[in-house]
Amino acid sequence: MDPSSWPDEPNRSKIGSFYSLLLTQERHEINRFPLQDYPTWARRVVHAERKRYKDKGTDKPTKADRKMVLDFGEGISSQLSQPNDNQQASVDSNQQPSVKEKKKKKKKKKKEKGPGQGEYDAEYLHTHVADEAAYPIVYSKNCRQSHERTMKSWGHFICKTEECEENEWKSAIIACHLIFSRSNISYKVTLHAQKCRQCERYAEPIVDPEAYARQVVHVLDLWMHLREREEPTGSGVHTRGPHDIARCHGCEVGQCPYSAGELGARPSRQFL
């Protein structure tokens, strides 16, 4: 399953082929799948399959399960839940998106051109957070904020515009904005893009899943009253040079630890 063989914007058939190949892998290989090497839709498929297996415990998905996974991977559905028996009868498990839905999707992609998409939802990384946490935690796109935190994560960016030919750079400061709801123990994370130096378009952030999960759970543990506040020790990943505030979308919208102060300045010390 070479990552370079899968397109950034596939059709339904390509997503189905990817899912079929994914199901031939051993379960432990799926759980340790190198998400950072694959496009967003493929990461969504892997996330959906992990959740399906966790909920049902069966290696072979039903037709309805398969449709749910493919819909989630294609971005048609944001839900990873199965319809009940009464709803199931009215749902065609082989139903394809209508022409109208496809046109809407194309229009949405066209609108994203220009500087590019600056924010990315981190739902596809939830399985890593759920495995790291010692308590049940839910990911909610509509999370009602009780607490919030800006934080940085390690990873890289890949600019996939035609003129750049996949220009790639690493960063120890991928800006993340974490919000938490105490009412239903749920959270949401927004990952912020950085602008490519060559074409001035935003590139998608690809965080290290395990490091990201540890950082998110470390903050959630505080809000769950499972640890005391502590002063940062300065340990962890550091950058070789100053953070480029002018190219960071998180800095632009005030959701990056480096958004305050002058270019290249270290962020203010926080008690985590």
pLDDT in tens, 156-202: 998 888 878 778 888 888 999 999 998 889 999 999 999 998 888 89
Average pLDDT over every residue of 96-108: 53
- Does residue 265 lie in a domain region? no
Same domain as 246, residue 133: yes
Q: How confident is the model at residue 271 (pLDDT cuts 50, 70, 90)?
A: very low
Same domain as 224, residue 192: yes
Same domain as 152, residue 83: no
Same domain as 163, residue 76: no
Higher pLDDT, 176 or 70: 176
- Does residue 165 lie in a domain region? yes
Average pLDDT over every residue of 211-222: 93
pLDDT in tens, 225-240: 888 877 655 544 455 5
SS3 of 204, please?
strand
Where does a domain end: 80, 111, 142?
A: 111
Rounded-to-integer distance, Cα 155 and Cα 104, Å: 32
- Does residue 259 lie in a domain region? no
What's the Cα-to-Cα distance from 25 to each of 105, 113, 134, 244, 265, rounded to whole Å?
A: 31, 36, 27, 40, 46
**Structural tokens at position 106:** 């194309």
Same domain as 225, residue 202: yes
On whether the CB atoms of residues 252 and 184 are closer than 8 A, the answer is no
Asked if residue 64 has pLDDT above 80, the reply is yes
Distance between alpha carbon 249 and the CA centroid of its chain, in Å?
Answer: 16
- Does residue 22 lie in a domain region? yes
Same domain as 125, residue 198: yes
Same domain as 144, residue 243: yes
Where does a domain end: 87, 111, 135?
A: 111
- Does residue 269 lie in a domain region? no
Same domain as 125, residue 106: no
**Structural tokens at position 68:** 């749910």
Give me the half-sphere count of Cα atoms (radius 13 Å) on the Cβ side of residue 111.
6
* pLDDT recorded at residue 269: 40
Asked if residue 145 has pLDDT above 70, the reply is yes
Q: What share of the chain is helix, strand, coil (3-state, %, to 5)?
A: 35, 20, 45
Rounded-to-integer distance, Cα 1 and Cα 259, Å: 39
Query: Which among 211, 188, 9, 202 has a CA at the least distance from the CA of 105?
Result: 9
* pLDDT recorded at residue 110: 42
What's the Cα-to-Cα distance from 30 to each of 56, 86, 178, rounded to whole Å?
A: 16, 32, 26
Q: Are strands 138-139 and 186-192 parallel, antiparallel or unpaired?
A: parallel
| Contacting residues for 187 by C-beta, under 8 A, at least 6 apart | 129, 137, 138, 139, 140, 143, 178, 179, 180, 181, 216, 220
The CA angle 67-68-72, to the nearest 5 degrees, is: 115
- Does residue 162 lie in a domain region? yes
* pLDDT recorded at residue 121: 93
- Does residue 261 lie in a domain region? no
Same domain as 180, residue 163: yes
Q: Look at the chain and report how many structural domains it folds into.
A: 2
Asked if residue 244 has pLDDT above 70, the reply is yes
Average pLDDT over every residue of 102-127: 68
Higher pLDDT, 3 or 252: 252
Same domain as 99, residue 14: yes
Domain containing 153: what range? 119-252
Average pLDDT, the chain: 77
Where does a domain end: 77, 95, 111?
A: 111
Q: How confident is the model at residue 104 (pLDDT cuts 50, 70, 90)?
A: low
Distance between alpha carbon 189 and the CA centroid of its chain, in Å?
Answer: 8
**Structural tokens at position 212:** 């990201």
- Does residue 105 lie in a domain region? yes
Same domain as 21, residue 85: yes
Same domain as 152, residue 70: no
